[in-house]
Amino acid sequence: MPPGQYVTEKWPVLHYGAIPRFNPRTWDFQIYGLVETPVALSYEQFMALSKTTLTCDIHCVTAWSKLDMEFEGVPVKPLLEMAKPKPEAKFVMVHAEQGYEANLPIEYLLADDALLAHRANGQDLTPEHGWPLRLVVPRLYFWKSAKWVRGFELLERDRRGFWERNGYHNHADPWKEERYSSPWE
Ligand SMILES: Nc1nc2c(c(=O)[nH]1)N[C@H]1C(S)=C(S)[C@@H](COP(=O)(O)O)O[C@H]1N2
Ligand SMILES: [Mo]
């Protein structure tokens, strides 16, 4: 267990704002910014991508951890590679519904444990847990794992996302307890 965390059995729901409505006819997933080949997939095209499962623990900065979650979905690495990131792409801004953003170094999305999940623990995600699609980045605090995710913007220079502008740490490694920081750090 990362320091300062406790185990919870239930799966808490945590987010800012309202649960967005999902319309499969207008939904898309886009990869843009510093890429050779921008990607835009309809819901049907996205769901036709090959899937995998990932078992991992999740760690919320508010100190709960849930162990042995099983997520199912599209692995991020081959999808990002489809867009051919330019060499200067070092960071990714993850974009979700209603303007939610989370930033992270591109390495976390090019690792084998980053997933765009549509199912968890053998069931479709519920709307409050991010249906139809959420990011799962197990090695960072769970706020980086955007619910209702809609795309990746590849950047040369880091930019802070929603919680990162509102007092959370820019990097968010739970093993280093990177919980909070001021926006100028
Ligand atoms: N779109 C969006 N995704 C989000 C958030 C949010 O406010 N909006 N909150 C984050 C935070 S702080 C946490 S702990 C997890 C919670 O996911 P859960 O509700 O499925 O447990 O979602 C993350 N993803
Ligand atoms: Mo969180």
Residues 6+ apart with CB under 8 A from 182: 167
User: What domains can you pick out in the chain, each with its CATH number?
Assistant: 29-176 (3.90.420.10)
State pLDDT tens for residues 58-74.
999 999 999 999 999 99
Going from the Cα of 154 to the center of ligand 2, the distance in angstroms, rounded, reads: 23
**Ligand 1 centroid – CA 87 distance (Å):** 30
Residue whose CA lies nearest to ligand 1 atom number 18: 13
Residues in the chain: 185
Low-confidence ranges of the chain (pLDDT < 70): 183-185
- Ligand 2 is an ion; residues with CB less than 5 A from it: 14, 60-61, 143
pTM > 0.85: yes or no: yes
Pocket of ligand 1 (CB under 6 A): 11-16, 60, 96, 100, 129-130, 142-143, 145-148
Question: What are 141-155's pLDDT values in tens digits?
Answer: 999 999 999 999 999
- DSSP strands (E only) in the chain: 6-7, 28-33, 39-42, 52-59, 64-75, 91-96, 101-105, 115-120, 123-124, 134-136, 149-155
